[in-house]
Amino acid sequence: GIQVEQSPPDLILQEGANSTLRCNFSDSVNNLQWFHQNPWGQLINLFYIPSGTKQNGRLSATTVATERYSLLYISSSQTTDSGVYFCAVGDSNYQLIWGAGTKLIIKP
Amino acid sequence: ETGVTQTPRHLVMGMTNKKSLKCEQHLGHNAMYWYKQSAKKPLELMFVYSLEERVENNSVPSRFSPECPNSSHLFLHLHTLQPEDSALYLCASSQAGIEGYGYTFGSGTRLTVV
């Protein structure tokens, strides 16, 4: 099956810093999503991005499908950005394979 | 609120109890999902319903029994659980078959089996 690897596993930054989170996957996919899970467990969908680039405020994501990776950029980090960021990929509408996540801590 | 509501938020149950988790979505989506999130493990897909029919069942023990009476509601019936079933149970919905739409998750039910 498809393997998903996220890096780094942990990241600690000062408020205001920029960061790049990476997601590598082992096979072609037609569904790739980035999620943020806050410290209370709520998972929020950030991007649906099987290819190309999208931006939403301070967050942007790029997926290079031919090279099987996706990047999530966070600029001017805020403490509310803390949590775990998950990448999930799939070749169908239903079955997503999840990475182990990147735990991000933003210090004030 | 994300448009997907889960109840209860927290549940403590004994191994001989029977309880149910409820999920309701107000987004007009046609697919609903149950996920299990345990500490130190990736999210595990348990069940998928599309148009109220089950399309995925990832080898989940029979002590977990899903029910989808209509496209807006999803239940997970629990009975004779084990302590290792303690986890965060997440419900999600999506508009399957439409490009560009991701999943919307509920806030989860944190289950503790004692």
Question: CA B65 to CA B45: how far, in whole Å?
Answer: 14
- On the 0-12 / 13-18 / 19+ scale of CB atoms within 10 A, B80 is middle
Amino acid letter, B60: V
- Whole-number pLDDT of residue B25: 96
Distance from CA of A100 to the nearest CA of B (A): 5
pLDDT < 50: residue spans in chain B: none
Q: How many CB pairs under 8 A join A and B?
A: 53
- A93 and B31 within 8 Å at the Cβ level: the answer is yes
Which among A93, A97, A102 is the top mutation candidate for probing chain B, defined by the most B β-carbons within 10 Å of its own β-carbon? A93
- Write down the pLDDT at residue B100: 60
Q: Does B76 touch chain A (CB under 8 A)?
A: no
For residues B6 and B22, the answer to whether their CB atoms sit within 8 Å is: yes
Question: Which of the residues in chain A have pLDDT under 70?
Answer: 92-94
Q: Taking CA atoms, what residue in A is nearest to B88?
A: A41
pLDDT tens per residue across span B70-95: 989 999 999 999 999 999 999 999 88
Chain B within 8 Å of A33 (Cβ-Cβ)?
Answer: yes
CB-based burial, A29-62: b 16+ in 10 Å, e otherwise: bebbbbbbbeeebbbebbbbbbeeeeeeeebbbb
Q: What is the pLDDT of residue B96?
A: 73
Q: Is residue B101 within 8 angstroms of chain A, CB to CB?
A: yes
Measure in Å the smallest separation between the Cα of B80 and chain A Cα atoms.
Answer: 25
- A3 phi/psi in degrees, rounded to 5: -105, 140
Contact B94, A48 (CB under 8 A): no
